[in-house]
Structure 1
Amino acid sequence: MGNDGGSIPKRIELVKEKKKAAVQNPDIERRAVWFFCALSKNPLTAPIAACRLGKLYNQDSILEYLLDKTAYGDGDKICAHVTSMKDITKLNLAENPSFDESRDSNERSTVGSLEQEATSRYICPVSMKEMNGKHRFVYLETCGCVFSEQALKEVPGSECLTCGTAYTAENVITINPTDKKEIEAMKLAMEEKKAQAKAERKAKKAEKKANGVENGSTKRKVKDNTVELPPAKKINLAPSSATAAVVNKVKEELEARNKLQKSSAIQSIYRKKGEEKKQTYLSTGTFNRY
């Protein structure tokens, strides 16, 4: 039946159904986590680092985040577990010989570049597989070397295949895991390791305190072990008796020499105090009215 004399509405126009959740392209998500920094969203460039949850970062972005937590808006949600540079590991990545940087930059500049398949800059040094998210990759926390998971399983051992650094199963960290159970297990392992490191720091601090490092006893021990030097002798600046005798003798010689140098005529000019003036034949017997 019609509503306005001719139009017959359909059910879809009258009944509203719940919208379906938008399905994201898995290839775009894969490229976003393997080719771009999880924090700054910029392309990954050396030096590249990873946390214990397997996320990839530009190391410079982590430094900026640690200096200013507001540098990136969602930094607290992405890497709140990163509180210092000790919480990340610098990766040692093998360059891909078939990677063309000029071609890759042109592809990224075009619209919808995330939907296009790009060549990875890095590969596994053993299996030569590209590090693009199509294969599972892991890194060793002890040295930072990166391998495909399959290559590490095919060549079992307790030493790194590249640098020979020893490692255990706990040091093998999966890069960009997708399984939720695996992610939860990695979070628990990270929290346990942080708690263990905190307990070790407290134990070391208590040991130092017991040994007297913090209460100053070490300083007292160092002071007691130092050799005390005898006090320096004071220098007497007063002249000695021998020096005084020499000075007096020289003084007397100079005075005697000065007396000899004066002639009798010059000495007659000067009169000692109290000495009477001698009369000459011109003034003898005369009266001085003054």
Structure 2
Amino acid sequence: MGLDGGTIATRSDVLRRQSSRVAQHDTSRSSRGGNAAGKVSDPGAVEASVARQTAWSNCALSSQPLQPPLVADGLGRLYNKEAVIQFILCAKDKVTEPEALLQYANQLRVAAGGLDHITSLRDVFDVTLTPEPGRGASGSGKARGGGSEAAGAGGRGGGGAGSGWVCPVTLVPCERYPCSALRPCGHVLSDRAIKNLRGPAGGGGGEAGGGKRAAAADETCPVCGLAYTSTVPVNGTPEQVAVLRAGLRAAAAAKAAKREHAAAGAAGEEAGRGGSKKRRKGEHGEAA
């Protein structure tokens, strides 16, 4: 059958040709289409893995490879600090270069309101990532407080698979295991390491509630030795990001209410001073 020397097509060969997904993911060396029983990757899982690796390899603002100095926002996304500074300057109309303005417009279009919480450098904090041992380094940065240096061994620039960043305690790859940034020092550790440092009663870091909780006196960063007050999940799950975003909105609303209260108090004091002046003038007029 087929005039190819006696090869007979079976039912499995015919059915296999109807599934392009099986054919594309087939890893066997069969000349008749491969082994239909082979493992087929889930496209959704592959896309999620690629997205997570990209988040740990590239700046969330400029899409360029991560290069120290690095910062993170309240949602746990990683940025090149230079890109954040340029974004803030463009937002304040302090940049006139057409290329920079076009890039700023594209960033706003892609973010679709996801960058509204970044208005100044106070909205981000410095972070330090630890490169995988043995990978080529293209830069270095040091956390506040004299911690260990972090080299820029991004996934695209490091010459290997993965982002190239690991937990400095457990050495597990950051893009494969949940990690959180310690504040205020900014070192990024795996949640497993944070849980082990806190002990059985301490709980895990970077939980769905945003990981923000008061640190005990002995809860110090194992890299630089500084006490940390809270943790922020880095490139966390959608649930964690939703909780963090709600916290940012609540903090912004509280800050706005505080400003309005202060402005109302100042206006009341000014009105009181104006009324007292009028009364004093009236008293002087009656005395005259």
TM-score bracket relative to the smaller structure? 0.5 to 0.7
Contact 1:99/1:119 (<8 A) preserved: no
1:129 maps to which residue? 172
For residues 65 and 48 of structure 1, the distance between their equivalents in structure 2, rounded to whole angstroms, comes to 14
1:74 maps to which residue? 107
User: Any idea what SS the aligned residue of 2:176 has?
Assistant: coil
**1:88 offset after TM fit, Å?**
0.7
With over 3 angstroms needed to count, the CA separation of the structure-2 counterparts of 1:166 and 1:67, relative to structure 1, is same
1:87 aligned residue (123, 141, 145): 123
**1:202 offset after TM fit, Å?**
5.0
Which amino acid counterpart does residue 129 of structure 1 have in structure 2? V
- Name the count of aligned residue pairs: 182
For residues 187 and 126 of structure 1, the distance between their equivalents in structure 2, rounded to whole angstroms, comes to 29
| Residue ranges of structure 1 left out of the alignment (5+ in a row) | 1-21, 216-290
1:173 maps to which residue? 232
For residues 95 and 106 of structure 1, the distance between their equivalents in structure 2, rounded to whole angstroms, comes to 8
For residues 98 and 151 of structure 1, the distance between their equivalents in structure 2, rounded to whole angstroms, comes to 21
- Kindly indicate whether residue 53 of structure 2 is the aligned counterpart of residue 31 of structure 1: yes
**1:193 offset after TM fit, Å?**
1.9
1:118 maps to which residue? 162
Contact 2:179/2:190 (<8 A) preserved: yes
Q: Tell which deviates more after alignment, 198-207 or 84-93.
A: 198-207
User: Any idea what SS the aligned residue of 1:60 has?
Assistant: helix
* Aligned 1:71-220 pairs, distance under 5 A: 71-72=103-104, 73-75=106-108, 76-77=111-112, 78-101=114-137, 108=156, 117-118=161-162, 120=164, 122-131=165-174, 133-156=175-198, 158=216, 159-161=219-221, 162-167=224-229, 171-178=230-237, 180-202=238-260
**1:195 offset after TM fit, Å?**
2.4
Contact 1:124/1:148 (<8 A) preserved: yes
**1:66 offset after TM fit, Å?**
0.9
For residues 50 and 192 of structure 1, the distance between their equivalents in structure 2, rounded to whole angstroms, comes to 19
For residues 60 and 184 of structure 1, the distance between their equivalents in structure 2, rounded to whole angstroms, comes to 26
With over 3 angstroms needed to count, the CA separation of the structure-2 counterparts of 1:140 and 1:204, relative to structure 1, is farther
1:59 maps to which residue? 81
Q: Looking at CA atoms only, which structure, 1 or 2, has the larger radius of gyration? A: 1
The TM-score normalised by the length of structure 1 is 0.53
Identity over the aligned pairs, expressed in percent?
Answer: 23
**1:105 offset after TM fit, Å?**
8.4
1:189-216 CA-partner distances (Å, limit 9, x unpaired): 111122233344555666778889xx9x
For residues 49 and 141 of structure 1, the distance between their equivalents in structure 2, rounded to whole angstroms, comes to 12
Which amino acid counterpart does residue 127 of structure 1 have in structure 2? T
RMSD over aligned Cα atoms: 3.3
The TM-score normalised by the length of structure 2 is 0.53
